[in-house]
Structure 1
Amino acid sequence: MFLRLMHAAAIAALIGSAGYVYGVKYRTIYAAEQLVKTRHLIGKEKDAINLLRAEHARLSRPDRIQDLADSKLGMQPLALWQIAAVEDLPGAQPKVDSIGRTLETLGLNKDNETPAVVAGGATPAAR
C-alpha cells in the first residue's frame, strides 16, 4: 500500500513538473516573440528618425532658405550707408525709476528711505 502511494506521489510530481516546464517553455517563447517585435519597432523608429534627419537637412539648406527669403520677404541687399561705426551709436540712457519718482512727488517715500552709510562703513543705528 505504501509503495502504491509513493508511486502515485511520484507520478503526480512528474506530471506537475512537466506542466511547470510546459508553462515556462511557452512563457519563454512568448517573451522571445515580444523581443523580436520590439526590435522590429526599434528598427522602424530608427528608419523614421533617419528619414526626418534627411528631410531636415534638405529643408534647411542655405541656398533653399536664401531663395525663400528672396521670394517671400522682399528684402533688399544691405547698402553701405546702413553700416554704422560704434562711435555713431547712441549711448545707453540712464535707468529711470518711475515708481520711485512718483513716490517722491507724492511725498510717500520719506519714511522708506534707505539709511546712509556712515564713515566707519557701518549703517547707523535704528531709531
Structure 2
Amino acid sequence: MVRILNVLAVFALIGSAIYAYSIKYETIFHAERIVKLKHEIKKEQDQIAMLKAEWSHLTRPERVQALADKFLDLQPLGLRQIVSADALPARGAKGDAIGDKLEALGLSEPTNTPGGGAGAPVTPVR
C-alpha cells in the first residue's frame, strides 16, 4: 500500500512539474509577444508622426499657392462678378419626389385598416 502511495506521489510530482514548466513557457511566450506588439505600436506611432509632418509640409499655404499659380489658370475676381442677393435668380420650388410619385399612383390618401376605426385596439379583446 505504501509503495502505491509513493508511486502516486511521484506521478503527482512529475505532473505538477510539467504543469509548472508549461505555465512558465506560456508566460515567456506571452511576454515576448507583448514586447513585439509594443515595438509594432511604437513603429506605427512613428509612421503616423512622419505622415503628419509630411502632410503639414505638403499643405503649407505658400506651397499650395505656388502650385495653384502654376497649374490653375485662375483670374482675379472682377467687380462685375460681384452682385447683390437681389440679383440672384429665385430659388426653385422644393419638391417631394416620393410624394409626387405616390400621388401619381393614387397612393397618397390614407388607407383604411380592416376591423374598425382609428380607436380600435391592436390586440384582440378576450
Report what 1:88 is aligned to: 87
Assess, with a 3 A threshold, how the Cα gap between structure 1 residues 94 and 5 changes in structure 2: closer, same or farther: closer
CA deviation vs aligned residue, 1:36-70 (integer Å, no higher than 9, x gap): 00010011011111111111111112221111111
Over 3 Å counting, the alpha-carbon distance change for 1:95 and 1:24 in structure 2 is closer
User: Following TM superposition, where does structure 1 have runs of at least 4 consecutive aligned residues deviating by more than 3 angstroms?
Assistant: 93-96
Look up the match of 1:125: none
Structure 2 distance, partners of 1:89, 1:52, is 44
Q: Distance in 2 between matches of 1:32 and 1:38?
A: 10
Deviation at 1:73, TM superposition (A): 0.6
Percent of residue pairs bearing the same amino acid type: 45
* 1:16-39 superposed Cα distances (whole Å, 9 cap, x missing partner): 100110111001100000010001
Q: What is the alpha-carbon distance in structure 2 between the residues aligned to residue 92 and residue 42 of structure 1?
A: 54
The equivalent residue for 2:68 is 69
| Superposed CA offset, 1:82-110 (max 9, x none) | 111112222234579xxxxxxxxxxxx8x
Q: Which amino acid aligns with 2:23?
A: V
Residue of structure 2 equivalent to 1:11: 10
TM-score (norm 2): 0.70
Q: What root-mean-square deviation, in Å, do the aligned CA atoms of Structure 1 and Structure 2 show? A: 2.2
Map residues 33-52 of structure 1 onto 2, 5 A cutoff.
33-52=32-51
Code of the residue aligned with 1:75 in structure 2: it is: L
> Quick check: which has more Rg, 1 or 2?
1
- Please give the alpha-carbon distance, in whole angstroms, between the structure 2 residues aligned to 1:74 and 1:92: 31
TM-aligned CA distance change 1:13 to 1:95, over 3 Å:
closer
Matched residue of 2:49: which SS? helix
Tell me what 2:52 maps to.
53
- Letter in structure 1 aligned against 2:51: L
TM-score w.r.t. the length of structure 1 is 0.69
Letter in 2 for 1:26: Y
One-letter amino acid of the counterpart of residue 88, structure 1: A
The DSSP-based 3-state class of the residue aligned with 2:83 is: coil
